[in-house]
Amino acid sequence: MEHEKRHYAVVDPFQRKLTIQKDGQVIAQSENALILKEVGRSVYDPVLYVPKADVVVDLVSEAKRQSHCPIKGDATYWNLGEKTSNYFAWSYENPHPKSGKIGGYVAINPQYVSFLSEPLNLN
């Protein structure tokens, strides 16, 4: 139980327009991204999640990789066609209530893409 108290995540709106590109191709563009900051055995790098509706390419489900996080739930992993590993993107289809905001969102592996952000147009 003590470990669970020290393992937590904070999910907030990213509050910037986010464009995700791979080799110059737009993968996703969103003004509704979320940023997840997680602390567990260490402090993990923040992860950006975009609504699935804002992903403009076809992600192919890949059942070979599975993982479970006690505060996020069971992850589903995605490929981008046949050219990438089974770790191009991931989502939590039924997230744990502690991380419920990320339901319906997908994270893109930063090893494969570039993230560009700009201020939101608040007019």
What is the tens place of the pLDDT at every residue in 38-94?
998 888 999 999 999 999 988 776 657 789 999 999 999 988 876 656 688 999 999
Q: In whole angstroms, what is the distance from residue 96 CA to residue 87 CA? A: 21
What is the tens place of the pLDDT at every residue in 95-112?
999 899 999 999 999 999
CATH of 2-117, one of 2.60.40.10, 1.10.10.60, 2.170.150.40, 3.30.930.10: 2.170.150.40
pTM for the full predicted model: 0.88
Q: Taking the domains of the chain in order of start, what are their residue ranges? A: 2-117
Can you say whether residue 117 is alpha, beta or left, with left for phi > 0 and alpha for psi between -120 and 50 degrees? beta
